[in-house]
Structure 1
Amino acid sequence: MAISRKLLNEGEEVLASMRQHPKALFPAIFALVVLLAVGVAVQTLIDQHVVTLVVWALVAVGVLWWVARPVLLWAVAVHAITDRRIITRWGVLTRRGHDIPLKRVSDISIEINLIDRPFGCGTLIITDASTDGTVYLHDIPHVERIKLLIHNIVHELPDAHPRTEGV
């Protein structure tokens, strides 16, 4: 689950490393239950061998697309907060990522809906000063603690533009 050391600069320290809360896999689990129910229902209700084989083949394709793919994508996605930036990496064949230098963070907010509350997760919304605008990190475990961590780090950073008195 930890971020790769090769993504870090010299002297950079990882303060938190996480992936999405397993709650993000609930749609995949629901799809698995529905697909298996369809396969079993067809096998028990229809007494034709060819139809049963075709349905199970379609169930297998559905399991690969709606279950295995989301689980794999969940397993390879990682978010990390270092003392210098927020790092996000995801993707299987094509790795994608987003780095936000903490000096550019202009706003940090969270969104915890009714479903997120029992699981202790939520969406972390980070607005930076660049043209990219806003980054949404969904289903982050302990999102309030992570928001506080980022806020404290940003607050402790030296100002990028020192103020001059009397100007």
Structure 2
Amino acid sequence: MGYPTRLLSEGERIDLELRPHWKALVLPVIMLLVACGAAGFLLTVSPSPSKTSGEISWIAIGVVALAVILYFTVRPWLHWLFSNYVITNRRLIIRLGFVHRVGRDLPLEKINDVSFRHDSILDRMLGCGTLVVESAGEHGQVLLNDIPRVEETQREISTLISGDPAAGATARA
């Protein structure tokens, strides 16, 4: 599900399309496994559904398990799926959310500084981190968390800002 090219202006091309690093999905997957395991265990130790009390307990376990899975697994997955960071030769496009959609475009000529940081040793090992974009606009600093290949992304944006005509060649190669 890439960024629609119909939303680009004439002569604009996409250099990088990113979404948050896959590590953002590790905890939701663990929660899915824990919820399924706990529900399975509770179903085996609860009375059989042929009895009235057993039927109510099975329904309660199912409802609680479904609520936990929706909140701790499906919601973060949808957040990850609908978080898009697109870097074109003219702007940085940020699109977040599914129902409550938030968008922000930063023209590259308004960006003053781009830096990155690895917030943990795990971020450094995985190559992801936080991209810090400082713009001349009223919002100032924008933090983009869990960006994959954060150092390469920072270098690509810096190259595009400098106006190098060969910018983007490394991203498309």
Q: What TM-score do you get using the length of structure 1 for normalisation?
A: 0.87
Confirm whether residue 144 of structure 1 aligns to residue 151 of structure 2.
Answer: yes
Secondary structure of 2:16's match?
A: strand
Map 1:18-33; keep pairs closer than 5 Å.
Answer: 18-33=18-33
Q: Do the aligned partners of 1:3 and 1:79 also contact (CA within 8 Å) in 2?
A: no
Give 1:6's aligned residue.
6
Deviation at 1:135, TM superposition (A): 0.9
Unaligned runs of 5+ in 1: 158-167
Instruction: Measure the CA separation in 2 of the matches of 1:86 and 1:102.
Output: 7
Unaligned runs of 5+ in 2: 48-53, 165-173
Secondary structure of 2:95's match?
A: strand
Q: Do the aligned partners of 1:87 and 1:97 also contact (CA within 8 Å) in 2?
A: yes
Paired AA for residue 24 in structure 2: A
Give 1:15's aligned residue.
15
Instruction: Measure the CA separation in 2 of the matches of 1:49 and 1:32.
Output: 23
Deviation at 1:146, TM superposition (A): 0.6
Paired AA for residue 107 in structure 2: P
Give 1:72's aligned residue.
78
Give 1:110's aligned residue.
116
Deviation at 1:34, TM superposition (A): 2.0
C-alpha RMSD of the superposition: 1.5
Instruction: Measure the CA separation in 2 of the matches of 1:70 and 1:53.
Output: 25
Measured against aligned partners, the alpha-carbon deviations of 1:105-125 in whole angstroms (never above 9, x if no partner) come to: 111111112121222211111
Secondary structure of 2:121's match?
A: coil
Paired AA for residue 72 in structure 2: W
Instruction: Measure the CA separation in 2 of the matches of 1:84 and 1:11.
Output: 9
Instruction: Measure the CA separation in 2 of the matches of 1:123 and 1:29.
Output: 22
Deviation at 1:57, TM superposition (A): 1.2
Confirm whether residue 94 of structure 1 aligns to residue 113 of structure 2.
Answer: no
Q: Do the aligned partners of 1:32 and 1:67 also contact (CA within 8 Å) in 2?
A: yes
Give 1:43's aligned residue.
43
Deviation at 1:28, TM superposition (A): 0.9
Q: Percent identity?
A: 32
Instruction: Measure the CA separation in 2 of the matches of 1:156 and 1:11.
Output: 15
Q: Do the aligned partners of 1:2 and 1:18 also contact (CA within 8 Å) in 2?
A: no
Deviation at 1:37, TM superposition (A): 2.3
Give 2:171's aligned residue.
none
Q: Do the aligned partners of 1:110 and 1:124 also contact (CA within 8 Å) in 2?
A: yes
Paired residues, what number? 157
